[in-house]
Amino acid sequence: MLTQTTSRVLEPSDLDAALAVLDREPVANAFVTSRVQVAGLDPWRLGGEMWGWYEDGMLTSLCYAGANLVPICATPRAIRAFADRARRAGRRCSSIVGPADATAPLWRLLEPSWGPAREVRPHQPLMVTDHMPADIAPDPYVRRIRKDEMETIMPACVAMFTEEVGVSPLAGDGGLLYQARVAELVGSGRSFARLDQDGKVVFKAEIGAATDRACQIQGVWVAPEYRGQGLAAPGMAAVLRYALADVAPVVSLYVNDFNTAARRAYRRVGFQEVGSFMSILF
């Protein structure tokens, strides 16, 4: 047993202890929890390492180091340890993302060696709801995307990602990893859209991370030519209905603070701000 403060890469045998830490904040940690529940802690299956911080022999903080660097329930001493490990390893991630109170100090420690970032988004409200809105009817035309509709949904997914992140998901590997992720969501029945009469996507969203306690809506997008027509709130209500009925009792999302139209639509559907995320994009 470890009897001092230390950090190390977790092993598959540490799974129960890691899940106990993740379970302390089921909404904020839904993204990482969902991956760990499926893949365990084996780096090849998880898509990255899970770093653990121990105090007096007990695992108290985590940091997922994969395509994203994600601090989890991280104390100040854990953040310093994770920053030291990240500096030694060198930057391999495309972003740092997580609760702002841990991500901000982690970035301050890493910026001298990892910076400059392409973009820093210091305040992304975390929003949550556990019930359907009373005054917004779900859009009856929003439905699950079928496996044979990948060619229909993919252009909308690419457009959303490019608009949101500022780079195309097709760069690098030609979009193979991104297409696989979209296919995974479609195959699991967690990709939703409304199509117009020509079969073009006018609204879409996915239920990304999902555990038995919480799930996270992501990739919300309205086609530019349909914006301002009131599609977002009913569309979100439709996806929320699916999420509450089929996935988890609590539904969350996080949004850029400057996206006032989206925040207004989410509030209309009943989402309330309960915290703040932060993202550093490279």
Q: Residue 93 carries which DSSP code? A: -
Give the pLDDT of residue 172: 77
Give the pLDDT of residue 145: 98
Whole-angstrom distance, CA of residue 67 vs CA of residue 46: 11
Give the pLDDT of residue 222: 98
Give the pLDDT of residue 25: 97
Q: What is the DSSP string of 48-81?
A: SEEEEEEETTEEEEEEEESSEEEEES--HHHHHH
Give the pLDDT of residue 39: 96
Query: CA distances (Å), 86 to each of 65, 94, 113, 179, 259, in order?
Result: 8, 13, 10, 28, 31
205-210 long-range contacts (CB < 8 A, ≥24 apart) are 205/235, 205/236, 205/239, 207/239, 207/242, 207/243, 207/247, 208/31, 209/30, 209/31, 209/33, 209/34, 209/35, 210/30, 210/34, 210/247, 210/248
3-state secondary structure of 192: strand
Give the pLDDT of residue 175: 85
Nearest CA-CA partner of 218 in 277, 139, 152: 277
Question: How close are the terminal C-alpha atoms of the chain, in Å?
Answer: 38
Q: Quick check: 21 and 10 in contact, CB under 8 A?
A: no
pTM of the model: 0.92
Whole-angstrom distance, CA of residue 279 vs CA of residue 49: 19
Whole-angstrom distance, CA of residue 273 vs CA of residue 253: 10
Give the pLDDT of residue 173: 83
Give the pLDDT of residue 115: 93
Whole-angstrom distance, CA of residue 207 vs CA of residue 188: 10
Give the pLDDT of residue 174: 83
Domains and CATH numbers, the chain: 5-116 (3.40.630), 142-275 (3.40.630.30)
Give the pLDDT of residue 83: 98
Give the pLDDT of residue 158: 97
Sequence-separated (6 or more) residues with CB below 8 Å from residue 59? 10, 14, 17, 18, 20, 21, 52, 53
Query: CA distances (Å), 267 to each of 72, 239, 272, in order?
Result: 27, 15, 6
**C-alpha triplet 181, 71, 109: angle, nearest 5°:** 120
Whole-angstrom distance, CA of residue 21 vs CA of residue 226: 43
Give the pLDDT of residue 149: 97
Please write the tens of the pLDDT for every residue from 79-97.
999 999 999 999 999 999 9
* pLDDT beneath 70: ranges in the chain: 1-4
